[in-house]
Amino acid sequence: MVRNLDVRDRGSGAASQGGGLPSGAKTGGRAGQAGCFLCSGAKDRLPPADRWGPPLTPAVRFRLIADEPIAERSSMFSKTDPTSEPAAARPGGSNASRSVLGPDLKITGEITSTGALEVLGEIDGNVVADALIVGQQGRISGAVSAQTVEVTGRLDGKVESRSFTMRASAQVAADVVYEKLVIESGATIEGRFSKTRS
């Protein structure tokens, strides 16, 4: 709050507003007229500051300007980003992820994959996968278990699959258990093929 100091001559009978002069203070100017206490040369006779009472403190106004609601601002500091969306499910389930064994690799041992496995190199061991692709230069020697098997290269051993496909360049010497069988002209087959009951 800002208070104005209005000093008038005592002889005028007017009361001071916002705090008057201390007792004994004199005003300049003519009697009966308002005088300037500080400009009249009386400033050298000012009483001690402690006699004036507490200092006047100007009022300060604050205005909060919010560009957006407080509720929305609080989300800036939350651990979870509200704009983030969960990753979309990959189409085709686990078949969408594929691991590739390069042509310069040879692995001895068992391999298990929850997705698709493409073999361009050589594997000596058992293979378990959701989907198995044996490339033209690929070779597998061991037991194979997968939902779908597609052979363009060579496969020796045992196979259990729902869908078994042999391309024209395939060479298979294995006991194969299948539900669906596709053999292209030119494929080489040696072994036993057994169809499972639906």
Question: Got the DSSP string for 17-74?
Answer: BSS-PPTT----SSTTS---TTTTTGGGGPPPGGGG-SPP----------SS-HHHHG
pLDDT per residue of the chain (198 residues) written in tens, 0 to 9: 444 444 444 444 444 444 444 444 444 444 444 445 555 555 555 555 555 555 555 554 545 444 444 444 444 444 444 444 444 443 334 445 889 999 999 999 999 999 999 999 999 999 999 999 999 999 999 999 999 999 999 999 999 999 999 999 999 999 999 999 999 999 999 999 999 876
Instruction: Count CB-CB contacts under 10 A for residue 54.
Output: 7
Give residue 190's identity as a one-letter amino acid code: E
Question: Got the DSSP string for 63-104?
Answer: ----SS-HHHHGGGG-SS-TT--PPPPPTTGGGG-EEEE-TT
Give kind and range of the element (H or E) at residue 162.
strand 154-166
How far lies 11's CA from each of 23, 26, 31, 151, in Å? Answer: 14, 11, 6, 120
Tell me the C-alpha distance between 149 and 131, whole Å: 6
Q: What is the pTM of this model?
A: 0.52
> Looking up tokens 């310069």, which residue turns up?
104
